[in-house]
Structure 1
Amino acid sequence: MLWSLLKILVFVAIVALLALGAGILMETAGGVQITVAGTEYTLGALQSVMALVALVVIVWLFFKLLSLLIATLKFLNGDETALSRYFDKGREAKGYQALSDGLMALASGEGRLALAKASRAERYLEKPELTDLLTAQAAEMAGDTKKAAAAYKRLLGNQNTRFVGIRGIMKQKLSDGDTDTARQLAEKALALRPKHEEVQDTLLQLQARAEDWAGARKTLATKLKTGTLPRDVFKRRDAVLALSASQGVIEEGATVEQREQAIEANRLSPDLVPAAAMAARAYIAKGKTRNAVRVLKKAWEAQPHPDLAHAFAEIEPTETAAERVKRFGQLARLKPHDDETRLVMAELNIVAEDYPEARRALGDLAERAPDARALTLMAAIERGEGAPDAVVQGWLTRALTAPRGPQWVCENCNHIHAEWAPVCEHCTSFDTLSWKRPETAEFASATGAHMLPLITGAAKPALAPEAGDIPEAELIDADAPDNSDDVSAADDRAEDDQNAEPENGDTEHAEDVAEKDAK
């Protein structure tokens, strides 16, 4: 409304100025004298201005007619498009101006304006390879997905714009959640432009989500060939894909091919913990225990992990607890000061009923990095050494509210996974899981604190001197009924469990014992 009013006011002002100028010229004395063929013409001031304007128009028309004459001569000489170019020159100028305005509107985030300019450019230029792309992007910005899809489909008809059309439809399918169609379109787009890094990454991610490991390895090889992926990263991710293809190696029905893929994954990336564990199990299934030991030692030296300890225990499933402690010394010597080494050796010594050695192996881990596992082991050690029930219950109380320790965490979104996976279940990113302590703090709920007396039993008033100050024990209700008989029964069960030989070398046996004590 204001803009229309402003235009009217400007128009009125221009008319008023012209009228004022014409009045001044009419009142001005003198003029211009022109002599043509002996005839003299005298023009007043206003007539002189009008004659000048007429002269400019005549000159402009002369050059236009001259350009038309030149185009006609070119047409007569065989240039069939000379006349059409002459008449379309103005339309082309308007079309390119509309196209330029549409691009500026698109860059400014004005989707509706860009869509209008694209329609105007399409009407003047008649070049769909240019205007359809602007129409599609402007329609997407304006939220008109149907019009954008129609524009992308028109781009498929031109060989020069086919890739752009496929990529645009692929993105639409991704936003709609149709990953199967998007994967097929990404494969076609990659066939047209093998060096396009964005399409490579999109296809690799979609193939990993669809568990198309063979196709993902081909795409990864394409990334290496085109130079969009360093060779060391390629080896790591190729190992992840080979490992993913052999996920069933631990099952009884694992094929020979799955076992070979697990071994290949370990060969490609020896520090990949799941690959090392699976490769070791594949060697164990073949009876090649020396190869299994070598694989696990190399992986343990790179990064100690509970899965490696479990696989190492499966090499000799029938050995005694003392023999197992001695054999695990091979791993302990590789990383003697690592936290995982301390925890594993403490667990094994608890199973072997060597509680002083278990305490020495654990060291100050329960105070320096108190997680649920370390605190549970301390409870088991205290129980094995005959400490009072209140001391054991205090350690279990702390274990109940302590962090879980290192876990598989996605480096992209910090999502915690119970088990390793090639693709994050939260953000679907590929090869982003690492074994570390979560950055986000873990808090215990108030409900869990109130339930502690039911889980651990009432605390006795006196604590053993060696237990130290355990503030968490104050959370236990001192007025709860005495359950010493239950604790004594738990002691008997704990002794039976500790004397029993481990079934499969599971290094988490001590945690099970401590949980039974708590119950």
Structure 2
Amino acid sequence: MFKTLIYLALIAGAAWGLDILHETKGTLVLEWFGRHIETSPMVGLAFVLVAAIILLLLWKSLSFALKVPTVVAVSQRARKRALGLDALSRGIVAANAGDLQRAEKAAADAKKHLPAEPLTLLLEAQTAQLAGDRVRAARVFREMTAISDTKLLGLRGLHAESLRQGDQDAAHAVALQAQNARPLCWSGQAVFDRHTAAKEWAAAHDCIAQNIKARIVDAETARRQKAVLDTAIAMDVEATDPARAIKLLRAALAKEATLVPAAVLLGRLLSRKGDMRAASKMLEGVYAKAPHPEIARAYLDVRVGDSAADRLNRAKSLARCAPEAPESAMVVAAAAIGARDFALARQVMAPLVASGQRPTARMCVIMAELEDRENDAQGLVREWLSRATRAPRDAMWFADGNWSRQWSPISPVTGKLDAYVWAEPKEELSGPMEEPPPAGKPAVLESAPPPATIEPPAKVEIEAKAELQPEPEPAAETVPPAQQKAADIAHRSSPQPVIFPLATPPDDPGPKPAGAARTF
């Protein structure tokens, strides 16, 4: 609306000016090349305007005539660029789709129309890679490194080609060149992995600082990597410079409070130094956050030469830090068996092996040891050991498809830092859940046929079985347990008759001492 008012005001002003000019009396005289011209001011002004318009048109025509070659050249360049961009578009699509024939044709067209375009070199390199021509691809990537705009792209291509050829040294040199030019995600990770695989811990520390400055890694990841590197350095200098190792391990735990290998090594070094109180306090703090069997073993071994009762007391103290963890129950049970406190061992293991639970192999082994040490029940021992072979595996250190009982700062396969994780092996096949065997009763295989369907193979076997049957003892006589155990030992050490194998061998070896049967 405001612009409309301005236009109307201009038109009104022009009309007012023309009206004044028309009403003005006078004569306009012009002497030009000996000619005398007289006219009114209105006609003179019109003549001037017409002459100005004619001169402007002539100037425009002359300028256009002079610019025709330039316009034609620009038009040709625009047409070639359009054709080149179309060829690049078709070529990149064809190369990524795996169409080698169309990609080569488009690359040739793009090189013809846009020879200096960086994308033309990229398309040529992709086409060479698709055709399997590694030499030509490397040559194109080297040409790209000579151009400032495509230097990093060419270095990345050379890095990938070096890795494909298995030349780790050349790949590291290219990645280091790119990292020095401008730190990027791929170059920073490649240089860092190379340093860690070669166990160049100091260089890896410097690379982390460079990656943090370039914002390649976040603060949490960098903190974890530094903690693992400090632990690796401490493992190397553990024997030669324990004071430095302790300092590094404290720094690692300050960065990552649940780094189990650092806590275990620090506890061992502090114990060796004689600072057992600090070692115990540190291990208790880490165990409360991450209950781990290695921490439990390090905690029990802080004081060398402890008695079985002292180890049991230490196990109880550690279990109070994480009372709900199954590891606490197993640690207390193992220490209780060593101290011959079988009642406590059964009490803490009962929830882990109760009906409906799936005890791990280690739990089954603990129960087998408990049955052996307390009751000498070899049948139950074999039953628990048999269950251990079919039970879920306990957690171990896992990295790149390799299972290990010991932690390492790098993967043995790829050399990657902090590749090991504490995990349980996956169960590919699992059978039905088994109930714990009742104490004092022989285990019976579920797959065994009923006894009524088993027929003796021969008459000799029937006679042998009849000879092996013990005679019933008088009900009035009672044999003391000690005499009964001595008689069993003498019976086992005496020569035994030849026994033919039965169709289903019994799992229990024979009678047990009186009072040995126990139930959960």
**TM-score, length basis structure 1:** 0.66
| Other-structure match for 2:113 | 124
Task: Give the 3 Å change call, closer, same or farther, for CA 179–95 of structure 1 in structure 2.
Answer: same
Q: Distance in 2 between matches of 1:472 and 1:235?
A: 54
CA contact (8 A) 2:380 2:442 kept: no
| Other-structure match for 1:370 | 359
Matched, 1:203 2:200: no
| Other-structure match for 1:386 | 375
| Other-structure match for 2:250 | 263
Task: Give the 3 Å change call, closer, same or farther, for CA 393–124 of structure 1 in structure 2.
Answer: same
Q: Distance in 2 between matches of 1:262 and 1:468?
A: 52
Which stretch of structure 1 is more off in the superposition, 175-184 or 293-302?
Answer: 175-184
- In our comparison, the structure showing a higher alpha carbon Rg is 2
CA contact (8 A) 1:240 1:422 kept: yes
Task: Give the 3 Å change call, closer, same or farther, for CA 257–355 of structure 1 in structure 2.
Answer: same
Matched, 1:286 2:273: yes
Q: Distance in 1 between matches of 2:444 and 2:260?
A: 36
RMSD of aligned alpha carbons: 3.7
1:254-301, Cα deviation, whole Å (9 max, x unpaired): 554344323321221110111111122232333322221222111101
| Other-structure match for 1:347 | 334
Task: Give the 3 Å change call, closer, same or farther, for CA 464–162 of structure 1 in structure 2.
Answer: closer
| Other-structure match for 1:450 | none
Structure with the larger helix share: 1
1:283-339, Cα deviation, whole Å (9 max, x unpaired): 233332222122211110111112112221332011111111112322111112211
Q: Which residue, out of 147, 150, 166, partners 1:158?
A: 147
- 1:237-248 to 2 correspondence within 5 Å? 237-248=225-236
Q: Distance in 1 between matches of 2:198 and 2:446?
A: 47
Aligned to 2:324, what secondary structure does the other structure show?
Answer: coil
Matched, 1:361 2:351: no
Matched, 1:337 2:324: yes
- 1:76-155 to 2 correspondence within 5 Å? 90-127=79-116, 129-155=118-144
Task: Give the 3 Å change call, closer, same or farther, for CA 139–66 of structure 1 in structure 2.
Answer: farther
| Other-structure match for 1:182 | 171
Q: Which has the higher contact order (CA 8 A, sep 6+)?
A: 1
Deviation at 1:128, TM superposition (A): 5.5
Q: Distance in 1 between matches of 2:210 and 2:381?
A: 58
| Other-structure match for 1:70 | 67
CA contact (8 A) 1:414 1:438 kept: no
Aligned to 1:392, what secondary structure does the other structure show?
Answer: helix
CA contact (8 A) 1:102 1:113 kept: yes
Q: Which residue, out of 204, 215, 236, partners 1:216?
A: 204
CA contact (8 A) 2:397 2:403 kept: yes
**Equivalent pairs, count:** 392
Deviation at 1:371, TM superposition (A): 1.8
Task: Give the 3 Å change call, closer, same or farther, for CA 154–312 of structure 1 in structure 2.
Answer: same
- 2:392 counterpart letter in structure 1: P
- 1:283-322 to 2 correspondence within 5 Å? 283-322=270-309
Q: Distance in 1 between matches of 2:407 and 2:232?
A: 10
Deviation at 1:90, TM superposition (A): 4.9
| Other-structure match for 2:9 | none
Matched, 1:400 2:389: yes
CA contact (8 A) 2:398 2:404 kept: yes
Deviation at 1:87, TM superposition (A): 6.4
CA contact (8 A) 2:380 2:439 kept: no
Aligned to 2:136, what secondary structure does the other structure show?
Answer: helix
Aligned to 1:363, what secondary structure does the other structure show?
Answer: helix
Deviation at 1:94, TM superposition (A): 3.5
Q: Which residue, out of 259, 262, 267, partners 1:272?
A: 259
Aligned to 1:416, what secondary structure does the other structure show?
Answer: strand
1:401-435, Cα deviation, whole Å (9 max, x unpaired): 3333112234xx66533322334445665434332
Where has structure 1 moved over 6 Å in runs of 4 or more? 65-68, 472-475
Aligned to 2:148, what secondary structure does the other structure show?
Answer: coil
Q: Distance in 2 between matches of 1:253 and 1:473?
A: 59
- 1:357 counterpart letter in structure 2: L
Q: Distance in 1 between matches of 2:390 and 2:380?
A: 16
Q: Distance in 1 between matches of 2:330 and 2:426?
A: 21
Q: Which residue, out of 407, 413, 427, partners 1:440?
A: 427
Q: Distance in 2 between matches of 1:473 and 1:315?
A: 48
Aligned to 1:408, what secondary structure does the other structure show?
Answer: strand
- 2:389 counterpart letter in structure 1: L
- 1:240 counterpart letter in structure 2: V
**TM-score, length basis structure 2:** 0.66
- 1:345 counterpart letter in structure 2: V
Deviation at 1:66, TM superposition (A): 9.8
Deviation at 1:110, TM superposition (A): 1.9
Task: Give the 3 Å change call, closer, same or farther, for CA 443–211 of structure 1 in structure 2.
Answer: farther
| Other-structure match for 2:497 | none
CA contact (8 A) 2:358 2:391 kept: no
